[in-house]
Chain A
Amino acid sequence: MRLDDRLHDFFNRPLMCIIAVADNTGRPSAGRGVGFQLLEDYERIDVIFSAWQWPRLETCIRQTGRIAATFVSPSDYVSYQLKGFAAMRETETADFDRAHCFMTAATDELESLGVPRRLIEPWLTAREARVARLAISEIYVQTPGPLAGMLVGEQFGTRSQ
C-alpha cells in the first residue's frame, strides 16, 4: 500500500513512534521507535528501535515477520498506524543520524508541550539500534475522533484501534 502526499507531509512533522510485534504463540510485545525512513516507493518504511531497550521486538520480527507501528504528532494527536510484514536489515551509520534527528525533534516538541525533558530522556535511545523494513499493507487513521480506526483509502474502512 502506498502512502499518499498527505501522509507524506505528516511524516515531516516531529513525531513519536510506538511499535507492536507478536511472537509465534500470539503473545504481543511493544516498544518505542526512535527513527524512520520512508523509502522512495512510499510503500515501505524502515523503523529504527533500540534492541538494548526492547529486545523482544527483534526476536518477534524474526519469528513472525509482522509489525504494527503507530506514529503520532504530539501537538495535535494526529496519528496513523501502519501494519504489514517486516524483515530486519543491517543497521547503517545513517540510521544513527536519523535516530538522532528523530529523538531531538520529538524531545523538543514534547518539551514545548510541557513535558519535562528528564521524563522524556528514559524513553528514547538508539543504543544497539536495529532496523525493521516494513512493507506497508494497511494504514489506519488513529487520531482520536470520528475517523479513528478508519482504514486509509477505503470508503468503508475496517476499524482498527
Chain B
Amino acid sequence: MNLRLSDLSACFEGVIPSIIATASADGMPNISYLSHVVRVDEEHVALSNQFFAKTAANVRANPKVTLILVDGFTGDQFLLDIGFVRSIDAGALFDKIARQLKASSAQVGMSDVMRLRSADIFRVHGIEKVPSPVETASPMASRAPVSLPALAEALKAIEQQAEADEIIDSLLGAIQRVLGYGNVLVLIHDNHRGCLITTGSIGYQRSGLGSEIAGSDGLIGAAATSGQTIKVSDMSRVRRFGEAIVLEAEGAENTSRTVAFPQLPTAMSQIAVPMTAGGTVMGVLFIESTERLAFREEDEAALEILAGQAASALRASEREAAAAEMRPAVLLPEAAPAGRDVRVVHHRFDDSVFVDGTYIVKGVAGTLLRLMLEWHRSDGRNEFTNREMRLAVGARMPEIKDNLETRLLLLRRRLEEKQAPIRLVRVGRGRVRLEAEGPLILDATAGDYP
C-alpha cells in the first residue's frame, strides 16, 4: 500500500469519530460510528467492541470490514480495507489498547465509562485517501518535524546540569526551544503529602509554583499514577480537567495556604508526561497549547525522551548531593543582621510557613525552613548542609532522601517569588545559606490549629 498507518497518526486521536461498515453472512450491510480506533503497528488496528453487538456478530460471520478514518488536523478522510484477525481480552497488547482507549476517552469525559473488556484486532489490507472537494492543509499539519540534532543538544544540556534548579530550567528551556511550546509546568511528586507540587513553570501569568495536584486527579494525576503519557487533543469536547484543582485567587493564598494552579483559559490541547527514572515516577511534565491537536506522535515521543532525561538527572543530582555532603562542614555562628525583625510562623499540622504574614509554602519545604530557623536560633549560624536536614527530617519523612533538592528548590523559588525578606542561597554542593534582612523570629507554637 502507498499510504501507511503511520501516515494517519492524526486519525487515531479520538477527536473525530471513525465509521465502521460490516456485512452479515447474507450480505446485509451495517454501519456505525466508532469512537476509538487504535493503531497497533504498521499493519494492524484494534477496535474496542463492547458497544457493537451487530458489528461484532457480522465480523465473526464475515471478516471483511471497511473503516472510514478522519484526520483530526485536516478533515481528510481515509477508507481502510481491513480483515478480522482475532479478539483479545488480556496480555501486553490488550493493556496497551486499554491505556490508549482510556487516554482518548478522557477527552470526551468518558474515561470511567469506556472500560475495555475486549478488543478486536484487524489486518489492514489497503488504505485509500477519499477525494476532498476542498484543499486540505492546516498550519499544524505543515509544522516542521522535530529536529533530532536540537533534541540531542537539549538532552546533553540537561545531563550536564548538576543542580535541581538547573535541570528543571534546562528542561523548560528545551521544550520551548526544540518543540516551541510556551506553557509548561514541572510537577514533582511528594509522597509525604500524596500530591504533585509545581516546582517549575514558564508561560503563565502567575507561575503557580507551590500549587498542588492531589492524588490521581485529572490528566496530571492520571499520568503520575499510570506512568503513561496522557493527552487531550481537543478541549472543545472535554469538560475541563482538573475540576479538583484549587482555583483560589492569589490574594487567597494567605487564608487557604494553597497556591492557585496556573491556568491557560484558551487551552485546546494538554499533555501530561510522567518523569520516570529507574521505574519510579518522580514527577510530571505538563504542557498546554491553544492549538487543537498540538501534540503529534513525534512531539509526544520527544517530550517523553526529555522528561526521562530530566528525571534521571534529578535522581543523579540527589545522589551526588548526598555524597558531597559527607565532607565536614565548618559552620560558624554569625552576628545577626541589622534591620527590622523578620517574623516566620510555622504551623505544625500542615508544615505551612508564613513570612511576615505572607504564605510561602507547606509540607516538606516548610519543615526544612523551620529546621534551619531552629538551628539558626540555637547555634546562631546561617549555613546548613543538606545532610543534616536529611538526617533530621528523614525519620518523619523517609522519602526526603530522594527529593530534598527539589524541596529546597521549591522553598527558594517561593521565597523569591513572594519577595520575602529571607532568601535561600546555594553556597556549594549540598549546602545552603539563609540570608535575612533582619533578625529572624520563629513562631513555631502559635496557631498550629487555626
Contacts and interface: CB of A to CB of B under 8 A. Distances in A.
B134 A30 contact: no
B88 to A, nearest CB: 21
Contact of B30 (A68, A79, A122): A68
Indicate the member of A18, A20, A79 with the most B CB atoms within 10 Å: A20
Given A28-B66, A66-B27, A160-B53, A72 B33 contact: yes
Contacts of A67: 29
Interface string B15-48: 0100111110101111111000000000000000
A18 B136 contact: no
Nearest to A144: B51
Given A22-B29, A72-B33, A54 B130 contact: yes
Nearest to B25: A26
A59 interface: no
Nearest to B22: A28
Contact of A26 (B27, B68, B79): B27
A41 interface: no
B29 A68 contact: yes
Interface string A19-45: 111101111111110000000000000
A62 to B, nearest CB: 14
A142 B34 CA distance: 12
B445 interface: no
A69 interface: yes
Given A30-B79, A144-B51, A20 B27 contact: no
Contacts of A69: 31
B76 interface: yes
Given A27-B64, A30-B21, A114-B237, A120 B31 contact: no
A8 B130 CA distance: 32
A21 B28 CA distance: 8
B228 interface: no
A70 B31 contact: yes
Interface in A102-143: 113-116, 118-125, 127, 140, 142
Given A20-B30, A22-B29, A161-B54, A119 B16 contact: yes
Interface residues of B, number: 44
Contacts of A32: 68
B138 A118 contact: yes
Q: Which of A31, A52, A140, A159 has the most CB of B within 10 A?
A: A31
A46 B86 CA distance: 37
Nearest to A126: B133
A140 to B, nearest CB: 8
A160 B66 contact: no
Interface in B63-108: 64-68, 70, 72, 74-77, 79, 81
B55 A161 contact: yes
Interface residues of A, number: 48
A22 B33 contact: no
A73 interface: no
A28 B23 contact: yes
Nearest to A30: B21
B132 interface: yes
B52 interface: yes
Interface string A58-81: 000000101111101000000101
B32 A53 contact: no
A113 B16 CA distance: 12
B66 A27 contact: yes
Contacts of A26: 23, 25, 27, 62, 64
B294 to A, nearest CB: 14
B133 A160 contact: no
B21 A52 contact: no
A115 B17 CA distance: 12
A128 B65 CA distance: 26
A149 interface: yes
Contacts of B234: 114
A70 B22 CA distance: 13
Contacts of A127: 133
B51 A122 contact: no
A123 B138 contact: no
A122 B236 contact: no
Contacts of B75: 118-123
Contacts of A142: 32
A87 interface: no
Specify which of B19, B72, B133, B237 lies most central, judged by the most chain A CB atoms within 10 Å of its CB.
B133
A88 interface: no
Given A20-B21, A114-B237, A160 B27 contact: no
Which 10 interchain pairs have the tightest Cβ spacing?
A: A114-B236, A20-B31, A30-B21, A20-B29, A119-B75, A20-B21, A125-B133, A122-B132, A160-B54, A22-B23
Interface of B: 16, 19-23, 25, 27-33, 51-55, 62, 64-68, 70, 72, 74-77, 79, 81, 130-134, 136, 138, 234, 236-237, 292
Given A27-B64, A53-B130, 11 more contacts: A18-B19, A20-B30, A22-B23, A28-B29, A28-B66, A30-B66, A70-B32, A121-B133, A122-B76, A122-B136, A161-B51
Interface of A: 18-22, 24-32, 52-54, 64, 66-70, 72, 79, 81, 83, 113-116, 118-125, 127, 140, 142, 144, 148-149, 159-161
14 contacts: A20-B29, A21-B21, A22-B28, A26-B27, A28-B23, A30-B19, A68-B31, A70-B33, A83-B28, A118-B136, A121-B75, A122-B134, A123-B75, A127-B133
